[in-house]
Every structure is written in structure tokens, then in C-alpha cells.
Chains A and B, each alone.
Chain A
Amino acid sequence: MPPLQTHSVGIELKNIDLSYGNTRVIKDVSLSIKQGEFFAFLGPSGCGKSTLLRLIAGFEHCQKGQVFLGDEEVSALPPWKRQVGMVFQNYALWPHMTIYKNVAFGLEERKLPKNEINQRVKDVLELVGLQDYAERRPNQLSGGQQQRVALARTLVIEPKVLLLDEPLSNLDATLRVHMRQELLELQRKLSLTTIFVTHDQEEANTTADRIAVLKDGIVQQIGAPMELYDHPDNLFVAQFLGSANVIQGTLSKQSNYTLFDDGKGMQISLQSSDIEGSKSIVLRPQNLALCEAESNTADLQGQVKIREFLGNIVRYEIQVGRQQLIVDEMYSFDNVPAETGSTVGLTINNDKIIIM
């Protein structure tokens, strides 16, 4: 028997507008999250992602718009009536209570019988692997353990949705990777609708089914991680997810191809298309490759400015005309990399150029 029941529901935000005084923090945001989905709010700090999360939990009030949990509108409900689980960035474990007391709190508030509370606390602590720590105090646990307690405390009330506010930001790098896998595994097991707020694109990419990219209180784009990476709607999304070379220029239609010209001496021929005029193109670093400078397959020529060995790849910054382009090459055993200062040729994988 699974230790926890879930009554997971979807979330819908309709035309949310939220201001602090005269500052508009959330601007007409609408999105809908499916039941059981692992959803991420991704964006730089100050983009409104945490505010949006706190709005769903009932800690913020919007001037316009509605929040739905499943079919129920919760906009007017106080936080304690929403049955929404939230894990705080600093975990917010109460230092004057033991782990057991912390986890039992929500159940006690719901006036469950003692033995049931006992059983459920025991089960959830087992679920997060902390059954032996029940009598400790929060300050006696490591960061990762505190994180698990915060999660257990939230899950034990069987929330309708789970909200995670930058849950991994207080952990060190190795633990962060481990915990995000654990989180994902747990979420899949419970099939609990989850929103994960983060500013780290890698965290969002590795965990989320879908991501909403936010900037300045506006949803820039919603989609699956790879979709956003391959088909960004705008430059912000293109640059926020992964590294990208963005070059501005003009497109003009030729006989059987389209020519891109940056106006500073760089010309690239693209597959024929109907798009013309002043545009930007986005080249992912791995879609460029080095070759001999004189090779006739070379689309461009440039000089190696910087070379960084990152283990699995070698990253170059190549000066081409007045542009600096980032190029990633796979590194394999005994490769001889290009020297800094040398002149190299570049080939471009034409069909992977994104035009904006």
C-alpha cells in the first residue's frame, strides 16, 4: 500500500495582474498546469516567479485575475484553507520543535486522531529516508536532511499541489544534483502536480515536463525543455536556455538559397526560405565545427581567441570579422585541439540555424 494518498489537481491562472504599490510585478499572466505535471517557473531574479508561486499559496493577492485549483476558484481563500503544499527556500523548519513535531504540525491542525498522526508521520519520514531522525531538532540536521524534512512536512498533509520555491538553492552542487533526482522520483511516484521555481535552467531542464520562462512579470514562452531550446520564441528565451551565438543582420532571397549578411563582412548562406529583411539568427555552439582554414567546406574563417577545456567538450571563442562566436567541439581521446591564435575555418550546420 502506498504510504501517501494524493488528490492531485491541475492549476489554472487566468489573467493575473499583481502590483506592489505602483510597481506592476505580474502582468496579465495566464497559464494552465495539468494534473500530475512537473512544471517549472524559470527566470532571472525579480521576474515574478516566486510572487506567482506565493499567489497560488495565498500569500500574495492579485488585483486582477483568478486562481483555480482543479475546478475550485481559490482566489479568496486564506492560505490555511487552500490545501496547497509549499516548500520554502529556507525550508522554514521551526527550530523549537523536533522533526517529528514539525512534520506532525499540519496533521494536528487538522485534528486527526493521535494514532493516525503517528502512523502518517512515520510513513512520510520513511518515504524521505529520515525515520531515525524524528526526535532531532532541525539545527542538528544537514542541509539535505532539512530539505527532506520540509518536503515530508508538506507531503504529509496530502496537498492538492506541491509548490517548491528554489528548493535546491541552499544546497551544495553535488547534493543539488542528487536532490533534484530524488524530487523527480518522488513526484513521479505520487504523481503530484508540482511547480518548481528556479533561476537555474539546468534544474528546470532536467526535472520539468514543461517550463514557463518568465521575465519582467510576463510569461515569455511555455513549452517542454527541448522545445524551448530548439524553437525559442524570442531572443531572451534563446539566450536564457543554453549558450547561443546571436547575430543581427539581414536576410535576402537568392536563386536557390537565402543569404544572411551581418553588414560587417560576415555572410552565411542558409536553406531557402521565404523570410526576408532585418533579422537575428541564433547559432548554438555545438552546431558550429572547426576545420582547416583553407578547407573548401569552410563557411567562415576566423582566429582562435580563447580555448577552454571542459572535459567532454572543448569550447572555443573564435573571432570572425567583428563577431566573437562560441564553438563547442566534442573532445575525444588524443584529440589535437586548435591552438590559441591560429586561424581556423568554421562549418555551420545550416539546417539548425534558428531565425528570429
Chain B
Amino acid sequence: MTSKAYKNPGQTLLFILIALFMLSFLVIPVVKVFYVAFIDVNTGNLTLVNFLDFFNTSLFQESFFNSFYVAGMSVIVATIISLPLAYFTTRFEFKGSVIIQSLGFVPLIMPPFVGAVAMQLLFGSNGSVNLLMDEYFGFTIPFMEGLNGVIFVQSIHYFPFILINLSTSLNNIDRSMEESAQNLGSHGMRLFRRIVFPLAMPGYVAGASLVFLKVFDDLGTPLLLNVNNMLAPQAYLRISSIGIDDPMGYVIAVILVVFSLFAMWVASLALKGKDYSTVQKGGGGLAKRKMRFWEKVIAYTIVIIILLAVLSPHLGLTLLSFGSIWSYSVLPDGFTPEHYVSIFEETPEFMVNTLIYASMAATIDIILGTAIAYLVLRSKIRFRHWLDYTAMAALAVPGLVLGIGYLRTFLGMSIPFGDMPLATWWVMLVIALSIRRLPYALRACTSALHQVSRSLEEAAENLGANKTKTIYRIVVPLMSGGILAGFVTSFATAAVELSATIMLVSSESDAPLSYGIYVYMQSAAGRGAGAALGMVAVVIVATGTYFSHRIIEKGRRERSLENNS
């Protein structure tokens, strides 16, 4: 006779519901995009002809090359920015390290497309910097010409991914790694090349491939800089101007996903089996020494130059949002609060919609995140790991691709109890945002649940609480810090998502902030208001980032207190 184990029907039901959600709103739309890319429009047969067309069209060839070039160059420029900063903080006792640490997250609180136009006013051919240089030195630098502009904006925006990863892996090298090499006769550059560099490499590659992925997929920045000969803008333009049936948009979507997967694969390859963090209790990090005077001068000069570059989008955006007219001049002609007044009076729906959409998306994320984390770590349902894998796979799906997938999948369907098209209903935008941000919320929830000891639940069950009661009274309260941090992160980043939004928004009254910024920035007259909206976005993301940081820190402190007592 086989023994009967207690099976939990509630868990199975939950599993099925989540699986259906993921299937409907992630798997099917993406599969649909792939399917259309491989279908002959006329015959309906499977074919590679769309890809042949793509690579035989010179505009697409150029776009493909440009996307690749911009992503690659952004990685290089971001590396050039990160290397000296990482070097100063990990090798020296450097007071400027505090500045460098804040440099590591300041760019991340502003989505790159928000600052793009402001950067053009500062660094463009008629921007402040070039006007000044022309006047005093008689030459200009084409920072923002064509692809240069995209590379410049993206690399000062995304370099923190490299900086953070590189500094972390450098800090995780135990001093004994270096000392044992010295003990065996090695020092200086040779030691760096043979020991320090290889040990820091996995962290660097992980950061660099993330930068590549982000830049390669990005739609907003090239669009706002009016650089259209890249892959993501081409896909958007094809779908929005030629129509939902044009296969080229789908081909580009497939290419974007494939390269995202490739970048993620490179990152995981770099990290797999190479947990080189070797720090032992007590003695951590490489040996640091004090800087000599001239070293300090050089270090501070470099740090300040980078700081200025990093702060320039924020500075430019602030000037633009308060400036009356700013054209062919170093600074705006005058300053006025008028743009802020106008966005709050004329288009408050952008902000209201954003708050509604982002909070709904974040709520869905933490519910899904908690449920998936619980099922994966605590249930014994077969295939439960697939929920985790599927949710995380959303990382490789650019917002643009998800948007195209929704348009295509839900084409011709109407909203329940109405006759509006389903695909462009605002609820679909909320779902798209939640799918896009789910990976981050899920990781936050999973790590929170990891820290809840199993025995705490068993104690509750032993005292008579059933599974549901236990989750409700024990697990969720203990996870609350992590869940809250996940909520805030999802909220802040969903608030400024542009690429999925731009595909799915059908009317301005349904549109969120990011769409508003895009629309305003299209015309020279709207830039001031667009910048003011951008400032609102920056405030939302900055506040969100600050609180999630505080929540995580608080949780960490409390746990360390528990461990000490």
C-alpha cells in the first residue's frame, strides 16, 4: 500500500492561476512575436524570408550595425568612466570615496530618455558647452552628433552597473590572495595582471553585459534624440506607421530578444562556478594605502570631471524646466515656474495615471512575487521552478517587444463588458508594467523568504495554524521588509517605463508620465513642460529608491541585532 501524504489543494490552485497569468501575458505574446517573424505574410507558411528581407534592406543593416556599435561603445565608455573610480576606492584610503559611492546611484534615479533633450541643450552643437568652447578656444566637440549622443547619454547613465559590480568583486578579494602572491615573489603590474584582474573579471563581465543589454534594447533615448537608424526605434516606427501586420517590426523584436538572451548568457557564464569572493571574517579587501599629494590632485580632478558629467542631465533638466526660452545660448534667457504650473493645471492626468498604474503594477508584482517565492521554496509541486524561470525570463524581453506582443495577441479582442479594443486598454498597460518589473520584485521576495526560518512556520503549524493562516500570520509579516522594498522598487521603475508604454497607449487621457515627457519633448515649445514632468519623474524615482534603500538597511540592522543577542 502506498502511503498518503497530505496534499495542499490551495497551493495547486495558486500554481495554476499564476501559470495561467504568466502564460497569457508573457509567454503567449512573446511566442506570438516570434511566430509572426517566421511567417510569410502572403502564404502563412513558416519561412526565413522576413529575415532575408531584413538583412537585404540597407536601412536595417545600418540600424543593426548602429545598435551594435552604440551598445558596444557605451560599454567601452562606461568602462573608461568606471575603472579609475573603482581603482581609487578599492586601492586607496581616499576621502573622495563618498562622492564615488553616490556617483554609483545618482544616474540611476533618472531614466536616460528623460535627460536626453537636456543633454542636447548642454552638449549639442549649439549647446552651452560648445558655445563656450567656441568662444574661448575656437573649436567644438560633437558630443551629441547622431550616434555619439546616444552613446554619451547611455554611458553616463548606465556606467554604475559596471562600477558597482567591479567594486564589489574587487572588495571581495581577500587580502591573503594578494599577499600569498607577494610571498611567492610577485608584485606590481604582474601581480595585478595575474591575480587581481582575473579575480575581478567575472564581476566586470556581468556589469558590462548588463550595460550592453540595456543600451541595445533601449527605445526612449534614441527616439528622443531623434536617432532613428537603430533597431528599437525602427521596430517602433514600422509598427506605428506601417502597421501591426508589417513583419519587420517582429523580426527586429526577435533580434532584440536574442541579443538580450545572449548578453544574459554571457553574464551567467562569467559568474557560473566563479564565486571568487574570498573574503574571510575580519581581514577583508585588498591592501589600501594613503595617496600622495599629486595622486590626490589627479584623483580629485578625475572624480570631479566625472561628477559633472553625471550630474549634467540633472542640471540640464532643472535649467530646462525653470527656463523661459533656451536656444543658442549658454543659459536660458530667464527663469519661471510657469512650466510646473502648466503641467499641474493642463495635464495632471499624466501624473495621476502614473501613480495609479505604477502602484497597481507594483501591487501585482509583490503578490505574484510572494506567491511564486513561497511556491518555489516551500511547496513540493512539480514544475514549480518553471514559475521562477518564466518570471525571470521577462528580463530578456524588452518593453518594446512585450508591447508589440500584446498588440498582436489581443488584436481584435474587446474589453470585457465593452467594445473598446482590449490591447490598448489601460489595464493591459498595468499588466505589461507588472510583467516587466516582476523579476526585481520576485528576487526581493525570494531573498526575504530565504531569511524566514522554516522552523518558525513549523512552530505555528504545530500549534494548530493551517497553511493559509501560517502564511498570513507568520510568513508575510516576517517578509514584510523585503516585500515593501520590492514594492517600492517596482513602483519607482514602472513609473518611468517608456518602451512598453509607448506601444500600448492609445489616447493621451490614458497616458502616464513617461509618455507625456515623450510627447512634450517632440516640440521645442513643449520642452519646458516636458522637463518639468521629467523632474516629477526624478522625484518619484529618487524618493522610491531612497525608501527602498532605507527599508533594506533597516531590515539588515534588525537581523544583525538578532544575531548578536
Contact = CB atoms under 8 A, between A and B. Distances in A.
Interface of A: 57-59, 78-86, 88-90, 92, 94-96, 105-106, 109-110, 139, 153-154, 157
A80 B186 contact: yes
B176 A90 contact: yes
Given A86-B180, A90-B280, A157 B199 contact: no
Given A92-B174, A94-B195, A105 B274 contact: no
Interface in B269-325: 273-276, 278, 280
B176 A110 contact: no
Interface string B147-184: 00000000000000000000000000010110111111
A79 B274 contact: no
A253 B303 CA distance: 79
B240 to A, nearest CB: 48
Contacts of A79: 179, 182-183, 187
Given A89-B280, A109-B184, A139-B273, 17 more contacts: A79-B182, A80-B182, A80-B185, A80-B187, A82-B183, A83-B185, A84-B183, A88-B180, A90-B176, A92-B174, A92-B177, A94-B181, A95-B275, A96-B276, A105-B186, A109-B190, A154-B183
B198 interface: yes
B194 interface: yes
Interface size classification for chain B: 20 to 34
Contact of A78 (B182, B274, B276): B182
A92 B175 CA distance: 9
B432 to A, nearest CB: 41
A157 B184 contact: yes
6 contacts: A78-B182, A79-B183, A90-B280, A92-B174, A92-B180, A110-B185
A110 B201 CA distance: 25
Contacts of A105: 181, 184, 186, 194
Contacts of A154: 183-184
B199 A94 contact: yes
Given A88-B179, A90-B280, A105-B194, A95 B274 contact: yes
The 6 residue pairs across chains A and B that have the minimum distance between CB atoms: A106-B184, A92-B176, A79-B182, A92-B180, A109-B185, A88-B176
Contacts of B190: 109
A220 to B, nearest CB: 25
Contacts of B276: 95-96
Contact of B186 (A82, A95, A109, A153): A109
Contacts of A83: 185
B430 to A, nearest CB: 45
A106 B185 contact: yes
Contacts of A95: 199, 274-276, 278
Contacts, number: 75
Counting chain A CB atoms within 10 Å of each CB, the highest count among B174, B185, B278 belongs to B185
B374 to A, nearest CB: 32
A312 to B, nearest CB: 36
Max chain B C-beta neighbours (<10 A), residue from A95, A139, A153, A157: A95
B181 A59 contact: no
Contacts of B198: 94, 96
A57 B185 contact: no
A83, A92, A110, A139, most chain B CB atoms within 10 A:
A92
Contacts of A96: 198-199, 201, 274, 276
Nearest to A50: B283
Nearest to A170: B280
Nearest to A59: B179
Contact of A92 (B179, B185, B273, B275): B179
B391 to A, nearest CB: 30
B288 to A, nearest CB: 14
A50 to B, nearest CB: 10
A288 B274 CA distance: 58
Contacts of A157: 184-185
Contacts of A88: 176, 179-180
B184 A153 contact: yes
A223 to B, nearest CB: 29
Interface string B89-101: 0000000000000
Contacts of A58: 182
Query: Which residue, B179, B183, B278, has most C-beta atoms of chain A within 10 A?
Result: B183
Contacts of B274: 95-96
Which residue of B180, B182, B194, B278 has the most chain A CB atoms within 10 A of its CB atom?
B180
Interface string B180-212: 111111110010001100110100000000000
Contacts of A84: 183
A152 B109 CA distance: 51
A210 B187 CA distance: 34
Contacts of B186: 80, 105-106, 109
A94 B177 contact: yes
A92 B174 CA distance: 8
A231 to B, nearest CB: 35
A153 B187 CA distance: 17
Contacts of B201: 96
Contacts of A139: 273
B328 to A, nearest CB: 55
A42 to B, nearest CB: 20
Nearest to A165: B176
Contacts of A80: 182-187
Contacts of A92: 174, 176-177, 179-180, 278
B181 A78 contact: no
A353 B280 CA distance: 44
Nearest to B176: A92
Given A90-B280, A95-B274, A96-B274, A85 B183 contact: yes
A139 B201 CA distance: 18
Contacts of A89: 176, 280
A162 to B, nearest CB: 11
Contacts of A78: 182, 187
A122 B187 CA distance: 25
A110 B276 CA distance: 26
A96 B275 CA distance: 10
Nearest to B187: A80
B254 to A, nearest CB: 36
A86 B278 contact: no
A62 to B, nearest CB: 17
Nearest to B276: A95
A268 B199 CA distance: 66
Nearest to B181: A105
